[in-house]
Amino acid sequence: MTDTAQKAAAADLAQIFEPIREELEAVEQEFVQHIQSRVALIPEMGRYIQKSGGKRVRPAVLLMSARLSGYTGDRAVLYAAVVEFIHTATLVHDDIIDGADMRRGRLAAHSRWGNDITVLLGDYLYIKSMALALTHDSLDLVRLLCDVTLRMIEGELYQLTKAGDVDIAEEEHFEIIRRKTAFLFGGCAQIGGLLGNVGTDREAALREYGFNLGVAFQLVDDLLDYTADQEALGKPIGGDLREGKVTLPIIILRERAGEEAYSLVRTIVAERAVTPEQWREVLRLLKESRATELAYERAVEYAERAKACLSIFPPSRERDALMALPDYVLSRDR
């Protein structure tokens, strides 16, 4: 971990988000309010998913970017709730596709209610998000949200076509990251700029800030599968490989460690299972080849790019918070 990340590790996320604490609480209330339905199962599942935790980083990026852009109205909370609906819909669908039984240490929604019901809940959340976005006459924002959502779904489909592909190229992997994660982060920050009418240059800077933050976030997330404590992570270690997902640490390992590593990875991916002995060997090879270290350095590069995008804005409490967020992302251990 770099010195920057070590400093950030001591910083509490709540402290970073303190300027928007009340608005984040309002987003939670907005989510609960709009998940209500005469079909009792919908709010029941919605509350369950909401209580599963999550750091609300995406809505926080939107709210903080709006503040940085000088916006003080109530539409930021509404659009932050829209983003949370979109993100939640993606999570429940992803868990079904990945066959993931656990989500943040609790049963995933589909493990509790079944795939058929959970697919429909995800659909409900997607449609609900757009219905919420349409409560204001801001077609530019709705178009942006639709574009981001389509890119996320394309990213999931593209990832499925690459599942089990031990030879996936680094650029192909980054294309999945861009679509599945980075565009939503970028869209969140851009919406903040649009609400504040900051102009083309600053709006673009915010979009790039969010995009680079999103790439760093996903790179760290992928790394945690190889570096985190299983209990802290809240899901079984080695899940990515068992699901046939070859991420950056393994791509680097494959290139640096030669046939031994390639053969081991190919076996695990083909069998969709990993023994304790195989897992220890994977971790040994990752360490010897410095694959996790090099993958982390790539995350640092994107975090630094994100921070550089904010130089166009004058110093402020909101800019400080957005500057601190990439360092927090680098320090994540779950």
**124: CATH:** 1.10.600.10
Quick check: is 72 in a domain? yes
State the virtual CA torsion across 131, 133, 139, 141 in degrees, nearest 10. Answer: -150
Most confident stretch, 46-60, 92-106, 270-284:
270-284
Quick check: is 294 in a domain? no
For tokens 């868990």, the residue is 95
Quick check: is 220 in a domain? no
What is the span of the domain harbouring residue 86?
3-207+308-331
Helix pair angle (248-257, 200-227), 10° resolution: 60
Quick check: is 238 in a domain? no
- 3-state class (DSSP) for residue 32: helix
Quick check: is 142 in a domain? yes
Mean pLDDT of the chain: 91
Q: How many domains does one find in the chain? A: 1
pTM: 0.92
* 307: its two tokens: 């921070």
pLDDT band at 332 (very low <50, low <70, confident <90, very high): confident
Quick check: is 186 in a domain? yes
**In the predicted structure, residue 123 carries a pLDDT above the cut 70:** yes
Model pLDDT for residues 2-52, shown as the tens digit of each residue: 444 444 443 578 899 999 999 999 999 999 899 889 999 999 998 888 877
Arithmetic mean of pLDDT, 248-258: 95
Residue 68: predicted pLDDT? 97
Residue 231: predicted pLDDT? 62
Quick check: is 241 in a domain? no
Quick check: is 164 in a domain? yes
**In the predicted structure, residue 175 carries a pLDDT above the cut 90:** yes
